[in-house]
Structure 1
Amino acid sequence: MAMKKKKAEAPENHERWLVSYADFMTLLFALFVVLYSFAMAKQSEVRVIIQGFIQSLGKIGLISPPAGSPVLQGGTGILEPESRSTISTENKPSVMESDHAPASDPINETIGQSAKPDQTNSWPHPSPETQGWIKQSKEKLEHSLKSQIESKEIEVEQLGSQLVIRIGEKALFPADSAFLQPQFIPLLEKIATVLTTIPGSVTVTGHTDNSTPPAELYRDNWELSVLRAAAVVHTLITNKDLAASRVVAQGRADAQPRFANDNPEHRQANRRVEITLSQGSPSEQQLPMLH
């Protein structure tokens, strides 16, 4: 009986790994495409948001931008060339060192420093129209209230596009009280008379130091500051020529000190009422500007 011829075995394929390798490379390529698309999608918007947040924190002195971060220092993201990132981080000053870094906040001043504003950096530059309103209004205030300014009962100051009449607590109220002292009512009446000739809105703001007011009289400094502002407003609008619709009363408690509350003089300066004038609507601007 003849024996069947044994079928020859197929040679072993040593290149089967190429199939798995090709599949792996395809998946890896797809992964990097997805990562790249995430990195580039709306990249500018994300960078602007991050930079704005960092700059806001830098303005109040909480942080300084970390060195070497292309996103925080104005780079374009994780795929930016190294050379460009290096140039950006080496040559671009930090927020705290930049020539354009804003000056300290004129109201919320750092502890131990005055809140005197820098007219060139702290406030937006007024438009020519607003400059004319500021000039005429300030001249009128300084002329009409000259004796009160010289006696330091009040201060008149320009803050950006606004004018502020600042009255100390001792010129209006007893300590820890919202009772307007009668002898100073003529001062407010004179201010009201001047305000009737100046167009624009009038905001009366009460400020306190950080001491606690008498609990039996006021819940806290917020209530005390609001009541002081309201007392001033009530006196101002007794002048029938000053439209009540122009006037707003608000209290800021001890949230906006001019100085650190570290000695009696600074505490006294922080207890104040500020009457802020802002340029009004076109109809209000038609009011006669007397000289």
Structure 2
Amino acid sequence: MSDDCPKCDAGLPPWLATFADLMSLLMCFFVLLLSFAEIDAIRFKKMADSMKDAFGVQREVQVTDIVMGTSVIKQEFSPSTIPEPSLVDEVRQQTTDVEKQHLDVPDAASKSEAEVAAEAEAEAEAAEEAAAEAAEKLMQEIAQQAEEIKEAMQLEIEEKLVTVETQQAKIIIRINEKGSFPSGSAKLNDDFYGVMVRLSEAVAKTPGKVVVAGHSDDVPISTNRFRSNWELSSARAVTVVHALLDDPNVDPGRVKVEGHADSQPLVPNDSRENRAINRRVELIIERGSDVESGEALAIPPAQG
């Protein structure tokens, strides 16, 4: 049988060289294709967006640009050259403005209780200092205005028809019964209207509310016109208000009338002289914006 088999030629068959050349060319062709290939960032972003749930992403972030972060593919990779080792770039991903509002921590929350208490104490001290400065400034203005009224009414003060004094945030102008009203009457004496003209001018120049309060002694009165000292004191206060409002510069909205009878005596009603002192009409000028708002300005009481 071995004698019947034809004898093969020595060496490789001729077609194998052509096949090897073709395989080498195909391998070089694919190597060149790989070397010219580039990563499509847009396609990579779409792929990452579509597969984010599969990789366990816990928080959604609006992506309006190429996905930021460290990629599994080395950014410096170049298939045509041998990559050199380099440090990993740190990339911080930006969140939206709405997420920033939720992530921002308020300054007060980051402060300790001691710091918050210290700031509150400093603010309280600053407020107290500001209030004290405002009160001191107001007291100086009141004292200056009282001196101006005293200068304008100097003649009446010397004749003891009028007295002027200050009490905390008030200027008190007292019209004594002497020379102003006849006994048991609410009509001003004719020669006292000149005094009221100068008094009205002084009141018009001084800001603040004006309380006109009538007072009497403890001797009861009962006439056809006045049933008691309450009506007499109120009527005298109204008479003074009408004299004040004769000056057009006095705003009627500033004025208020009160009648106290003998409920607020200056001195005890135990003598004729003391009763004459208690029979009076007071013009009380109340200063400060707190008067209009109904609040009380904290002013320390006068010493002495």
- Tell me the TM-score normalized by structure 1: 0.52
Structure 1: gaps spanning 5 or more residues: 1-124, 285-291
Cα displacement (A) at 1:146: 1.1
Residue 150 (structure 2) aligns with: 142
2:224 equivalent in structure 1:
216
- Give the Cα–Cα distance (whole angstroms) in 1 for the partners of residues 147 and 242 of structure 2: 26
1:204 paired to 2:212: yes
Give the match for residue 259 of structure 2: 251
Alpha-carbon distance in 2 for matches of 1:260, 1:175: 19
- Percent identity, please: 36
CA distance in 2, matches of 1:237, 1:280: 22
Residues 126 and 161, structure 1, Cα contact 8 Å, conserved in 2: no
Q: 1:246 to 1:280 in 2, by over 3 A?
A: farther
Alpha-carbon displacement from aligned partner over 1:113-154 (angstroms, at most 9, x marks no partner): xxxxxxxxxxxx991132122122112101111111112111
Instruction: Report the counterpart of residue 189 of structure 2 in structure 1.
Output: 181
SS of equivalent to 2:275 = helix
Match of 1:156 among 164, 172, 176: 164
- Range with bigger deviation, 250-259 or 206-215: 206-215
The correspondence for 1:168, drawn from 173, 176, 179, is: 176
CA contact (8 A) 2:143 2:166 kept: no
> Residue 278 of structure 2 aligns with which residue?
270
Paired letter, 1:229: A
Does structure 2 conserve the Cα–Cα contact (< 8 Å) formed by 1:226 and 1:249?
Answer: yes
Partner of 2:296: none
**Structure 2 CA distance, aligned partners of 1:276 and 1:157?**
10
CA distance in 2 between counterparts of 1:174 and 1:166 reads 16
Task: For residue 214 of structure 1, report the CA deviation from its aligned partner.
Answer: 3.3
The letter of the residue matching 1:174 is P
Residues 169 and 288 in structure 2, CA contact (< 8 A), matched pair in contact too? no
Q: Secondary structure at the match of 1:250?
A: strand
Mapped to 1, the partners of 2:252 and 2:214 lie a distance apart of 18
Name the SS of the counterpart of 1:196 in structure 2: helix
Q: Please, what is the CA RMSD of the aligned residues?
A: 2.1
Provide closer, same or farther for how the CA distance between residues 164 and 227 of structure 1 changes in structure 2, counting only shifts above 3 A: same
Which of 233, 237, 243 is the matching residue for 2:241? 233
Whether contact under 8 Å (1:205, 1:249) holds in the other structure is: yes
Structure 2 unaligned spans of 5+: 1-132, 293-304
2-side partners of 1:251 and 1:148: how far apart?
A: 24
Structure-2 separation of matches of 1:280 and 1:182: 35
Does residue 260 of the first structure (1) align with residue 268 of the second (2)? yes
Q: Which runs of 4+ in 1 moved over 3 A?
A: none
Partners of 1:176 and 1:214 within 8 A in 2: no
What is the alpha-carbon distance in structure 1 between the residues aligned to residue 156 and residue 149 of structure 2? Answer: 11
Would you say the 8 A contact 1:149–1:155 is kept in 2?
yes
For 1:85-136, what per-residue CA distance to the aligned partner results, in whole angstroms no more than 9, with x for missing partners?
xxxxxxxxxxxxxxxxxxxxxxxxxxxxxxxxxxxxxxxx991132122122
Q: Distance in 2 between matches of 1:158 and 1:232?
A: 20
Amino acid at match of 1:243: D
> What secondary structure is seen at the aligned counterpart in 2 of 1:265?
helix
Conservation of the 8 A alpha-carbon contact between 1:213 and 1:220: yes
Moved more, 262-271 or 168-177: 168-177
SS of the equivalent of 2:227 reads coil
CA contact (8 A) 1:202 1:276 kept: yes
Q: Counterpart amino acid of 2:243? A: T
Whichever structure has more helix as a proportion of its residues is 2
1:133 and 2:141 equivalent? yes
